[in-house]
Structure 1
Amino acid sequence: MTENYIQYASGYQKDNIDEEDIVKAISDIQSMDDEHGAFWVSVITDDENVIEVNKDLSLFVIFEGQQTRYQATDWNEVTELYKLLLLEKFDIITSKVK
């Protein structure tokens, strides 16, 4: 099993997450203030692979030490990217956020 976790900017963290945890985090972020309106998910393989999303739908995608900034169009797109992350489809995510 791949190691993964979710962490909110407000400090909450949970290990070994699934899609339900991401859906809850997206719901939570929409009601947070701007200062704490962010969370990130990390999937650890040989490297730590992270997607961080902010309340304004801006994302930071960090794979193999390379960071890409991306502006999502809506929360559905964010959800899809996180699903791909949990499935370790890093190449698909990279092609979508270029």
Structure 2
Amino acid sequence: MPTYLQKAWTDSIDDVNISHVRTAIAETQQMDEEHAAFWVGTQEEEYILETDKSLDMMAVINGEPTKYRAADWNEVEFLYGLMLNEDYNALLGHFKR
């Protein structure tokens, strides 16, 4: 499923891979609070995963928003890996723990 990555401070990127996510994580850690967020979504926006600098996350899966706070940036990267691998059930299960 085609994906995009949107950063609060710049244009979006299409056909996202994990290296794009790693770059967004590094940049988010350096941004001021106002612009320190990024998200990955599918083109139809059935699935969206958003993260801000304080590790607060939100997943929208089939229109259902779920909030979560990640333990660290490694967990954030792991969750985006699930998203990019289209493992939405595992992603939602992680958020519902």
Q: TM-score range by the shorter chain?
A: over 0.9
In structure 2, the residue matched to 1:38 is 37
Note if 1:28 corresponds to 2:23: no
Q: Can you list the C-alpha shifts for 1:7-52, whole angstroms capped at 9, x where unaligned?
A: 011132100111110010000000000000000001246x520000
Q: Distance in 2 between matches of 1:90 and 1:17?
A: 16
In structure 2, the residue matched to 1:9 is 8
In structure 1, the residue matched to 2:79 is 81
The runs of 5 or more residues in structure 1 that have no matched partner are none
Q: Distance in 2 between matches of 1:12 and 1:44?
A: 15
Q: Distance in 2 between matches of 1:36 and 1:43?
A: 22
Identity percentage of aligned residues: 35
The runs of 5 or more residues in structure 2 that have no matched partner are none
Q: Distance in 2 between matches of 1:79 and 1:40?
A: 12
Provide TM-score, normalisation by structure 2. Answer: 0.94
Q: Is the 8 A contact 1:43 1:86 kept in 2?
A: no
Q: Distance in 1 between matches of 2:38 and 2:11?
A: 9
Note if 1:53 corresponds to 2:70: no
Which one has a larger percent helix, Structure 1 or Structure 2? 2
Provide TM-score, normalisation by structure 1. Answer: 0.93
Q: Matched residue pairs, number?
A: 96
Q: Can you list the C-alpha shifts for 1:29-84, whole angstroms capped at 9, x where unaligned?
A: 00000000000001246x52000000000001000000001000000000000000
Give the aligned CA root-mean-square deviation in angstroms: 1.2
